[in-house]
Amino acid sequence: MNAPAQRAGTLLIDAGNTRVKFGWRNDDATSAQAVPRTSLQVAFRHEEVPEALLPWLDEAGLRPRAALGSNVAGDDSERTIASLLARNGCAVDWIRAGRRLLGVTNGYRHPERLGADRWLSLVGIWNRWRRQAAPGAAAPVHVLAHFGTATTVDTLDGSGRFVGGLILPGRDLMRQSLAAGTAGLPRANGQVAPFPDNTGDAIMSGVAAAQAGAVARQWLAARERFRQEPLLVASGGAWSAIAGEVAHLMRAAGSTRQVLVVDNPVLDGLACLAESGLAPSS
């Protein structure tokens, strides 16, 4: 079998709490896309990265000339990935939150303390809207809900300013806490139901209600503050399990917008940064 043709570009890295997601931007990618990133993506658990990353790059014919990354998994993850890529002569720039980036302003009390994943996700969804909007269109308020190991619900106003957000345990952490902290409750695998009649369904329905309630709380707060209906953006692996409950609460709250589901806004933000040509420290 012939080896795939080598493609030069930028490796995009989202090192989360459980997995590391990798994306790719070709050097010849066009800015006409809604988000300047190819569809090529892969995810590995942290323990799989040392054995899996370089073979994946080889098999896909990818030759990274640079890498941009977000990391919330600790220093060991950064060192492992950087060491692997150094074998191919590729350095990694790990992006931290700052005051401003690509049209987004960070309103956190201490901007540098905002997680890189939340920061880059906001950059990603804001620039996605800017690329797709009609000339002169007024920007909506965005409420971004990410359902991963942790659930975060963050708000951007119509000028691209991050005004604050929530962090709460994700779906699986909620389930685990009940199993670990009680004598009689299992780690449930039930179904979400309006009136659960068994323990498994009761736990799963309670978790889904808590997750959806956090989203509805922020959506309503944003609508009240900015006097407009926010655009709800959802991402993360647990979204599909929460989507029905969120939709129910949004309808009850009077929402008329469709939820915009985005696969990985962190990689989108990194791709926008790679395309911009800005130095990572910018």
DSSP letters spanning 131-145: HHSPTTPPPPPEEEE
* SS3 at position 9: strand
Most trustworthy range by pLDDT among 4-8, 160-164, 199-203, 240-244? 160-164
Residue range 52-84, pLDDT digits in tens: 999 999 999 999 999 999 999 999 999 999 999
Query: Is pLDDT at 282 greater than 50 in this prediction?
Result: no
pLDDT of residue 184: 66
**Banded model confidence at residue 279, pLDDT cuts 50, 70, 90:** low
In the predicted model, what is the mean pLDDT of residues 5-34?
82
- First-last CA distance in the chain: 44
Length of the chain counted residue by residue? 282
**Banded model confidence at residue 130, pLDDT cuts 50, 70, 90:** very high
Query: Is pLDDT at 147 greater than 70 in this prediction?
Result: yes
pLDDT of residue 39: 52
Do 167 and 150 touch, CB atoms closer than 8 A? yes
**Banded model confidence at residue 263, pLDDT cuts 50, 70, 90:** very high
The C-alpha atoms of residue 113 and residue 9 are separated, in whole angstroms, by: 30
Query: Across the chain, what does the average pLDDT equal?
Result: 91
The C-alpha atoms of residue 232 and residue 258 are separated, in whole angstroms, by: 8
The set of catalytic residues is: 117
pLDDT of residue 179: 77
In the predicted model, what is the mean pLDDT of residues 86-95?
95
Q: HSE of 139 in the Cβ direction (CA atoms, 13 Å)? A: 19
**DSSP tag of 38:** -
**Banded model confidence at residue 6, pLDDT cuts 50, 70, 90:** confident
**DSSP tag of 280:** T
* SS3 at position 104: strand
Do 164 and 152 touch, CB atoms closer than 8 A? no
Alpha-carbon distance values, 8 to 61, 63, 274 (Å): 9, 5, 13
Do 170 and 151 touch, CB atoms closer than 8 A? yes
**Banded model confidence at residue 262, pLDDT cuts 50, 70, 90:** very high
pTM metric for this prediction: 0.92
pLDDT of residue 32: 44
Show the tokens assigned to 87: 């074998």
276: left (phi over 0), alpha (psi -120 to 50) or beta: alpha
Tell me phi and psi for residue 244, to 5 degrees.
Answer: -65, -45
CA dihedral of 262, 263, 265, 271, whole degrees rounded to 10: -120
In the predicted model, what is the mean pLDDT of residues 108-127?
97
